[in-house]
């Protein structure tokens, strides 16, 4: 019989606590019920700071050693503490947000960083390739060991920017990783040592630290992969300090968020400020506005919420803070969940039920606006049928006729929707997310959703059948990233084979240009460089990663 372990601790930060101002007994019973499904899983825990009361409770079959508090990897939540580290240097006037980063990083990376400032890295307006995508390109999953040398290999590449600096705010781990390197350069200490000395040790967060090669503590923190009928232990090491690589306990995190809740310093206030890069580039994301503390903030039913989440190798973590209500909620798990934030939000619903404003409910249902459609004509077919491509996001879509009905086909998800002509220039597409319009343009179509358009260019028929010379068949290698891929032809169909022997169909979108269904190799461009074929790989988070064809000379180097 499996043993179920429940752990409860109530501890105080002040001596004048008044019970009843925080979590009531009835509320705690409701909260505990949210976690009942985890009695037979590896650890899932919650921590609550409400006014002056602090509670933490653990559920499940814990691997906790009674002599050692249970530790968790925090994934992307590490970036919050990286922001604190760089802002502490700014507060001490050891560095300025307006400083250009090139002098600090010239020996570390080969990225094109002219004009990029510390502020750009902190506000995600640097335009550099996306860190997590580059890890994925290396074939590193959340369960694979990732060492500092792996991260260094990424940034030693002469990578192209995703977009010009300052053009767009795009949330990424790139800034946090590079900011940690700047902290090391300015302080003369490893990032792990600096954060220990300046943050964790003063607050007596004794079991919290960033991993790196100099960390002497045990880095083999165990998580679990849900296999359906059992949980498989996983030893995951992500030592890329700055963007990830942070280990902590529930007790330590409650110390930090209690400290953040009480401290009135300028630095702590800045952590919770929303980033506004400039008049036209702001930090609005689907998760809310980005704060300087690398969290997200927005108003929920009249209440300001600041939140954050992370997941890595079977660990998940989330934080929900409500500053005006003196409430912070921390959720930690190591049972294979990739997101546990729903537990935090349900906990907040219980504790703030009397604080939230009523949800708006219209007195009467809005009338459904019927859009008049017309019969499908031959001219509409000729105008819209064909393949379409978005060159920024590498999206390939198709409009075709099936059973005398226009259909919009998304090959990424193998989904098809009926299209109804409104007039010669507009089509209506009905999906489970609502009604949208497809509008014809001189060169393709605009897919209009909630007032925002996604433009796709129509591909000529000869672009879809562009032949590839046999000289491009063979294997290719990126020496810096130690990656290999191959281009092969079988029965007139082209495939890409990666270093893990996965194979992906190459779909033609132009002369020597292809897309695949793999996020690692979303867009493939082949070209001759002198007499030698080369492959360039792009995806959402990076552009033009080069691979040279393997021949005798490259084999010698490999």
State the angle between helix axes of 78-91 and 174-187 in degrees (0 to 180), rounded to the nearest 10. 40
| Cα distance between residue 318 and residue 410, in whole Å | 33
- Banded pLDDT at 363 (limits 50, 70, 90): very low
In the predicted model, what is the mean pLDDT of residues 252-266?
Answer: 88
Judged against a pLDDT cut of 70, whether residue 19 lies above it is answered with no
Please report, for residues 378, 382, 424, the alpha-carbon distance to residue 440 in angstroms, rounded to integers and kept in the order given.
16, 12, 9
Counting beta carbons within 10 angstroms of the beta carbon of residue 481, is it exposed (0 to 12), middle (13 to 18) or buried (19 or more)? buried
What band does 117 get if pLDDT is binned at 50, 70 and 90? very high
Mind giving me the DSSP string for 41-57?
Answer: SS-EEEEEEETTEEEEE
Is there a contact between 162 and 112 (Cβ–Cβ < 8 Å)? no
- pLDDT tens digits, one per residue of 394-411: 999 999 999 999 999 888
pLDDT of residue 92: 93
Task: Give the pair of three-digit tokens for residue 485.
Answer: 């891929």
Distance separating alpha carbons of residues 433 and 364, to the nearest angstrom: 22
Mean pLDDT across the chain, nearest whole number?
A: 85
DSSP lists the bridge partners of residue 397 as: 388, 410
Tens digits of residue pLDDT in 123-161: 998 988 888 888 888 888 777 777 777 777 788 777 788
290-302 burial, b if ≥16 CB within 10 A, otherwise e?
bbbbbbbbeebee
Q: Evaluate if residue 55 carries a pLDDT over 50.
A: yes
Report pTM.
Answer: 0.85
Q: Give all strands of the β-sheet with 474-478 in edge-to-edge order.
A: 503-505, 493-497, 483-490, 474-478, 542-549, 532-539, 523-529, 513-515, 507-510
> Per-residue pLDDT for 58 more than 90?
yes
- The better pLDDT of the pair 549, 556 is held by 549
% of residues, the chain, pLDDT over 90: 51
- Burial of residue 374 (CB within 10 Å: 0-12, 13-18, 19+) is exposed
Q: Compare 148 and 487 and report the one with higher pLDDT.
A: 487
Name every residue whose Cβ is closer than 8 Å to that of residue 389 and which is 6 or more positions away in sequence.
Answer: 395, 396, 397, 456, 457, 459, 509, 510, 515
Q: Terminal CA-to-CA distance of the chain, rounded, Å?
A: 53
Residue-level pLDDT at 380: 95
pLDDT class for 27, splitting at 50, 70, 90?
A: very high
- What is the rounded distance in angstroms from the CA atom of residue 489 to the CA atom of residue 15? 74
Is residue 13's pLDDT more than 50? no
The contacts of residue 164 (CB under 8 Å, 6+ apart) are: 127
Q: What is the pLDDT of residues 160-219, one digit of tens each?
A: 888 888 878 888 899 999 999 999 999 999 999 999 999 999 999 999 999 876 655 655
Per-residue pLDDT band for 8 (boundaries 50, 70, 90) equals: very low
Cβ(210)–Cβ(243) below 8 Å: no
Residue pLDDT, tens place only, 321-349: 999 999 999 999 999 999 999 999 999 99
Exposure class string for 227-248: b at 16+ Cβ within 10 A, else e = eeeebeebebbbbbbbbbbbbb
| pLDDT tens sequence across 266-284 | 888 889 988 877 755 566 7
Residue 6 predicted with pLDDT over 60? no
Give the Cβ contact number of residue 452 at 10 Å: 8
Query: In the predicted model, what is the mean pLDDT of residues 461-480?
Result: 86
| Residue 119 confidence class, pLDDT cut points 50, 70, 90 | very high
- pLDDT (mean) for 103-127: 85
> Residues 289-301: pLDDT tens digits?
899 999 999 888 8
Looking at residues 239-247, what average pLDDT do you find? 86
């Amino acid at each position: 019989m499996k043993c179920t372990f429940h752990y409860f601790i109530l501890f105080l930060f002040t001596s004048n606590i008044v019970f009843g101002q925080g979590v009531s007994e009835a509320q705690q019973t409701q909260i505990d019920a949210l976690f009942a499904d985890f009695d037979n899983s590896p650890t899932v825990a919650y921590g609550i700071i409400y006014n002056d009361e602090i509670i933490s409770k653990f559920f499940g079959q814990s691997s906790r050693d009674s002599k050692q508090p249970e530790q968790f990897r925090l994934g992307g939540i590490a970036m919050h503490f990286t922001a604190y580290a760089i802002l502490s240097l700014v507060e001490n006037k050891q560095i300025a947000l307006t400083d250009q980063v090139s002098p600090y990083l010239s020996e570390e990376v080969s990225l094109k960083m002219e004009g990029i400032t510390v502020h750009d890295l902190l506000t995600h307006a640097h335009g550099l390739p996306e860190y997590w995508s580059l890890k994925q390109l290396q074939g590193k999953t959340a369960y694979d060991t990732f060492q500092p040398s792996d991260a260094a290999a990424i940034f030693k590449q002469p990578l192209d920017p995703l977009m010009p600096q300052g053009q767009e705010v795009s949330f990424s781990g790139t800034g946090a990783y590079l900011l940690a390197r700047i902290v090391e350069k300015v302080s003369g200490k490893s990032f792990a040592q600096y954060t220990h000395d300046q943050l964790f040790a003063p607050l007596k967060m004794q079991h919290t630290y960033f991993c790196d090669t100099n960390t002497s503590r045990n880095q083999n923190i165990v998580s679990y992969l849900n296999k359906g009928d059992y949980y498989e232990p996983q030893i995951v090491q992500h030592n890329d300090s700055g963007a990830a690589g942070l280990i902590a306990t529930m007790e330590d995190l409650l110390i930090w968020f209690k400290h953040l809740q009480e401290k009135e310093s300028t630095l702590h206030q800045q952590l919770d400020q929303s980033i506004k890069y400039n008049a036209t580039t702001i930090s609005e994301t689907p998760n809310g506005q980005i704060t300087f503390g690398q969290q997200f903030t927005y108003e929920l039913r009249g209440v300001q919420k600041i939140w954050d989440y992370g997941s890595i190798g079977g660990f998940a973590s989330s934080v929900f803070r409500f500053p005006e209500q003196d409430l912070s909620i921390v959720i930690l798990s190591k049972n294979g969940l990739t997101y546990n934030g729903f537990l935090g939000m349900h906990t907040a619903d219980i504790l703030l039920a009397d604080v939230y404003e009523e949800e708006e409910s219209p007195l009467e249902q809005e009338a459904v606006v019927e859009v008049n459609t017309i019969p499908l004509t031959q001219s509409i077919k000729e105008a819209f049928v064909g393949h379409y491509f978005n060159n920024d996001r590498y999206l390939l879509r198709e409009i075709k006729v099936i059973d005398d009905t226009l259909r919009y086909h998304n090959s990424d998800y193998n989904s098809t929707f009926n299209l109804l002509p409104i007039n010669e220039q507009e089509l209506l597409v009905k999906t489970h997310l609502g009604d949208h319009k497809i509008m014809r343009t001189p060169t393709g179509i605009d897919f209009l959703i909630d007032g925002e358009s996604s433009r796709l260019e129509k591909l000529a028929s000869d672009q879809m059948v562009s032949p590839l010379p046999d000289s491009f068949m063979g294997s290719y290698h990126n020496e810096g990233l130690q990656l290999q891929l191959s281009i092969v032809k079988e029965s007139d169909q082209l495939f890409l084979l990666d270093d893990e022997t996965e194979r992906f169909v190459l779909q033609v979108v132009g002369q020597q240009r292809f897309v695949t269904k793999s996020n690692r190799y979303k867009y493939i461009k082949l070209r001759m460089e002198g007499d030698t074929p080369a492959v360039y790989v792009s995806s959402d988070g990076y552009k033009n990663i080069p691979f040279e064809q393997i021949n005798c000379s490259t084999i010698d180097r490999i």
